[in-house]
Structure 1
Amino acid sequence: MIHGFHAVLARLRRAPESIRELYVDASRDDARARDLLKLAADAGLRPHLVDHARLERLCPGRRHQGVVAIGEAALPAMTLDELLDGLGKPATLLLLDGVTDPRNLGACLRVADGAGAAAVIAPKDHACTLTDVAVQTASGAAESVPYIMVTNLARAMDALGDAGFWMLGTADEADHSLYEETLTGSVAWVLGAEGKGLRRLTRERCDALVSIPMLGQVSSLNVSVAAGVVLYETLRQRRKAGAGAA
């Protein structure tokens, strides 16, 4: 089940063949709804125009915005090897260690898309899958940013290091800050769950640990906010150095 304009539009643009049924609130006659209906028609889909009550039964308690699609649970998954084969240089990746909340995952995908990260990578254990809540929170980014789940995150980090990525983790106790680190090459940022931080094996495989300056009373940031800080600083430095976006 895919719901909400951002998520449904993104799936229509990227993989319309994966959508089996499309339901749209018949009472909506705004530009946004008309654009979605045209895109669906161009893809050969015949949307069902239904009342609000039908949509509520399909997505009870969800903010569907008057549009719900039923289709394949997820797009074909990309492997780490496939990602590395197709990457240009320099590139940015976001690795999540122990992030299990679907809203945090969705927000991380959204910020990764905005900052030009090539993919988000997480372990199959101790991580959130692409639930409908994560897809909704991502506002379309779940369709544009590959979410790669690997069997062993530590081994995946070894492979990324061999491919030339500088592995950076965040930790409150690090001896230097994010803003003292050179981020113009290929970078893989590794972030842990709020409170727990990075696991030992993950931490040991980082080339360096950096802190995010915290000047107020709270000791840490939500993982998606931290992802935004580090990814956009990477983008800023890369553009300043003339290396281009990820």
Structure 2
Amino acid sequence: MLVTGKKVIREFLLSPYQKLGAIYLARDLSPEKRGDIPHLARERKVPLREVSREDLKALSSGKDVRGGILATLPRFVTWDLEDLLQGRSQGDIYAVALDRVFDPQNLGAVVRSAFCFGASFLVIQKVRAAGITESVIRASAGTVARIPVVQVTNLARALDRMKEDGYWVYGAESRGGEDPERMDFSGKVIIVLGSEGEGMREGVRKRCDFFLRIPMVEEADSLNVSVAAGILFYNVYKKKVGKRGPSISR
């Protein structure tokens, strides 16, 4: 995969979870526009190569490189759920799970909100859902590199495993459920959001301990999944920050 844009590449260089293959800079790129990319690349031992604008365009496979920088990503590293649960057995944790979110832009926007509001990790499906692609990386503004991503074959089974580990499962619903402002969100929590059109599947709904509903005017049908995600994650973050101080466990 190719990663473009200084901000996005910087997120990957700051990530403890992902490793870029190499970074290519246009030779005429000013020090101001390079920012701290060269310094971070040296720290992470990522090769940094200066090339002409023509060579940069050729490397980009037609992508927009007007910013004068691109990077290669040999593979996006995903996590095993068991390993992640063992490493996060304690703390006031919350995670996010997505059930059949197909649109890469929505997935990227959800990831960005999850990172900004302190989610510890993200669970997505391996099939019949959007995966981590260049489009998702761009839509997340690179923050997908800053949060562990778990891909599972069976989301309902993964939720069962998390419940065994002490997680409370909160499902987002467009109708019915509790106002998130009234919820406590104490302990280990996972927020589940369903697909853009159909919501959660029945097998996933059955694993939920609580349902959340964002209050809206009666005439409104539902919110875009990424908008709903931002509102819900903010509510969880507020409750957990209020208990633990300025940050929560990642």
Q: TM above 0.5, one fold? A: yes
Percent identity of equivalent pairs? 28
- After TM superposition, the structure 1 stretch with the greater mean CA deviation from structure 2, 96-105 or 213-222, is 213-222
1:40–1:183 CA distance, 2 compared to 1 (3 A): same
Q: Tell me how far apart the structure 2 counterparts of residues 209 and 162 of structure 1 sit (CA, whole Å).
A: 19
Q: Tell me how far apart the structure 2 counterparts of residues 216 and 30 of structure 1 sit (CA, whole Å).
A: 53
Secondary structure of 1:48 counterpart: strand
Cα-to-partner distance string for 1:209-239 (whole Å, 9 max, x where unaligned): 1211113743222212211111110111122
CA drift of 1:159 comes to 0.7
Is the counterpart of residue 165 in structure 1 residue 138 in structure 2?
no
| Structure 2 counterpart of 1:178, from 177, 180, 184 | 180
Is the counterpart of residue 235 in structure 1 residue 237 in structure 2?
yes
Query: What is the identity, as a one-letter code, of the residue corresponding to 1:112?
Result: A
Match of 1:151 in 2: 153
The two structures have a TM-score, normalised by structure 2, of 0.88
The two structures have a TM-score, normalised by structure 1, of 0.89
Secondary structure of 2:25 counterpart: strand
Is the counterpart of residue 50 in structure 1 residue 30 in structure 2?
no
Match of 1:102 in 2: 104
Match of 1:11 in 2: 12
May I ask how many residue pairs the two structures share in their alignment?
A: 244
Contact 1:184 1:234 in 2 (8 A): no
Secondary structure of 1:197 counterpart: coil
Is the counterpart of residue 29 in structure 1 residue 24 in structure 2?
no
Cα-to-partner distance string for 1:42-100 (whole Å, 9 max, x where unaligned): 4262312321x44344142446632111231213x211111111113110010000111
Q: Which runs of 5+ in 2 are unaligned?
A: none
Q: Tell me how far apart the structure 2 counterparts of residues 16 and 203 of structure 1 sit (CA, whole Å).
A: 31
Match of 2:95 in 1: 93
Match of 1:245 in 2: 248
Q: Tell me how far apart the structure 2 counterparts of residues 238 and 231 of structure 1 sit (CA, whole Å).
A: 11
Contact 1:37 1:47 in 2 (8 A): no
Alignment map for 1:49-128 (pairs within 5 Å): 49-51=51-53, 53-57=54-58, 58-62=60-64, 65-75=67-77, 77-87=78-88, 88-128=90-130
Query: What is the identity, as a one-letter code, of the residue corresponding to 1:35?
Result: D
